[in-house]
Amino acid sequence: MDHFIAFMEKHFIPHAAKIGAQRHLVAIRDAFVVTMPLLILGSLAVLLNNLPIPFFQDFMNNAFGEELWKSFGGAIWSGTFGILSVFIAFLVARNLAHGYGKDGISAGVVSLASFFTIGGATGMSSNGLFIALIIALVSAEIFSRLVGNEKLVIEMPEGVPPAVARSFAALLPAIITVSIFGLIYTMFRAFGVTDIVTSFYNLVQKPFLGLANTLPSAILLAFITPFLWFFGLHGANMIEPLMQSINAPAITANAEALANGDIAPFIVNKPFFDSFVNLGGTGATLGLIIAIFLFGRRNKAYKIVTGLSTAPGLFNINEPMMFGLPIVLNPIMFIPFISTPVVLVIVAYFATSFGLVPAAVTMPPWVTPPIIGGVLATQSIAGGVLAAVNLTISVLIYAPFVKIAEIQALKREAEATEV
Task: Divide the 419 residues of the chain into consecutive groups of 10 and give the mean pLDDT of each group.
Answer: 59 62 82 80 76 77 84 87 89 93 91 92 81 92 87 68 69 92 93 86 73 83 87 70 73 78 84 92 93 87 86 86 84 91 96 92 84 91 96 95 86 74
**One domain, residues 137 and 280:** no
Q: Are residues 171 and 304 in the same domain?
A: no
| Residue at 16 is within a domain | no
Among 44, 25, 122, 127, which Cα is nearest to 84's? Answer: 127
The domain tally of the chain equals: 2
Q: For residue 354, what is the DSSP state?
A: T
Q: Which domain holds residue 123?
A: 22-208
CA distance 408 to 419: 17
Residues 67 and 181 in one domain: yes
Within a domain: residue 220?
Answer: no
Report the C-alpha gap between 415 and 413 in whole angstroms.
5
Angle at which helix 171-190 crosses helix 162-169, to 10 degrees, equals 40
Distance CA 232, CA 329 (A): 8
Tell me which of 208, 223, 249 is where a domain ends.
208
In this predicted structure, what is the pLDDT of residue 93? 95
Q: Are residues 169 and 34 in the same domain?
A: yes
DSSP secondary structure string for all residues of 41-84: HHHHHHHHHT-S-HHHHHHHHHHH-HHHHHHHHHHHHHHTGGGH
The rounded distance, in Å, linking the Cα atoms of 40 and 80 is 9
Residue 68 included in any domain: yes
Residue 374 lies in a domain: yes
Give a yes or no: residue 339 inside a domain.
yes
Give pLDDT, residue 263.
Answer: 80
Do 269 and 413 have their domain in common? yes
Q: According to the model, what pLDDT value does residue 319 have?
A: 81
Task: Looking at the structure, tell me whether residues 328 and 197 fall in a common domain.
Answer: no
Does 84 map to a domain? yes
Is the residue at 50 inside a domain? yes
Backbone phi and psi for residue 165, each to the nearest 5 degrees, phi listed first = -60, -40
pLDDT at res. 203? 79
Q: 329 lies in a domain?
A: yes
* 171 shares a domain with 54: yes
Q: What is the pLDDT of residue 363?
A: 82
Tell me, yes or no, whether 175 and 291 share the same domain: no
Residues 265, 414 within the same domain: yes
Task: Report d(CA 305, CA 302) in Å as an integer.
Answer: 5
How many CB atoms sit inside 10 A of residue 287's CB? 26
CA distance 284 to 295: 17
d(CA 329, CA 306): 18
Q: Is 100 in a helix, a strand, or coil?
A: coil
Same domain membership, residue 383 and residue 288: yes
What pLDDT shows up at residue 406?
Answer: 86
Nearest to 106 by CA among 53, 174, 57: 174
Domain check: are 57 and 203 in the same one? yes
Per the CB < 8 A criterion, the answer to whether 372 and 269 are in contact is no
270 shares its domain with 369: yes
- Using CA atoms, how far residue 65 sits from 47, 61, 68, in Å, is 18, 4, 5
Q: What pLDDT score does 178 carry?
A: 95
Which of 143, 178, 208 corresponds to the end of one domain?
208
